[in-house]
Structure 1
């Protein structure tokens, strides 16, 4: 990783799998944590990467005046339910396959 002292830019290398590391300074500055999503945008001047707005989709699930804490609680519960649903589907499909 190298730093351009004239502006707040850094460079990283792309791995053979197409992966890049977001520099720690940017992760800290923009509150990026493991599991967060980033948006890649093509612009005339090049590629722009920004933090995805996690609350944009969540706003459809709860009223606008819901507190951030309650939104997070709802999101965690939905995530738990989706994971349980996936496990149920997997169990049912595997159970059906073993009976054949």
Structure 2
């Protein structure tokens, strides 16, 4: 269960098993779905959570001079298309 803290975010609790629920609003806003991987990064400000980009094969078909930001955008678009295709294949 999530609760509002202020205009900046939501809070959730960690279970005994160390699991956390990502609030529905954030899952929808950032396109997070079952099976997606998240990266937990330690920063000077605390912990930052980011969706992984699964970079192992990334860039193979993209010119070296394409900025990282554009690569991320392209990967997100491709990921959305793949998820949509999977969804349509699983629906009767």
- Scaled by the length of structure 2, what TM-score is found? 0.61
Looking at structure 2, the residues matched to 42 and 22 of structure 1 have their Cα atoms a distance apart, in angstroms, of 18
Structure 1 runs (4+) deviating above 4 angstroms are none
Looking at structure 1, the residues matched to 52 and 10 of structure 2 have their Cα atoms a distance apart, in angstroms, of 20
Corresponding residue pairs, total: 67
* 1:57 to 2:56 alignment: yes
Bigger CA radius of gyration: 1
Looking at structure 2, the residues matched to 10 and 2 of structure 1 have their Cα atoms a distance apart, in angstroms, of 6
Q: Which runs of 5+ in 1 are unaligned?
A: 73-100
Query: Once the 2 structures are TM-superposed, how far is the Cα of residue 58 of structure 1 from its aligned partner?
Result: 2.2
Looking at structure 2, the residues matched to 21 and 58 of structure 1 have their Cα atoms a distance apart, in angstroms, of 29
Query: Once the 2 structures are TM-superposed, how far is the Cα of residue 57 of structure 1 from its aligned partner?
Result: 1.4
Cα-Cα RMSD: 2.6
Q: Which runs of 5+ in 2 are unaligned?
A: 64-74, 83-92
**Secondary structure in 2 aligned to 1:3?**
strand
Greater RCO (Cα-Cα under 8 Å, separation 6 or more): 2
- Scaled by the length of structure 1, what TM-score is found? 0.57
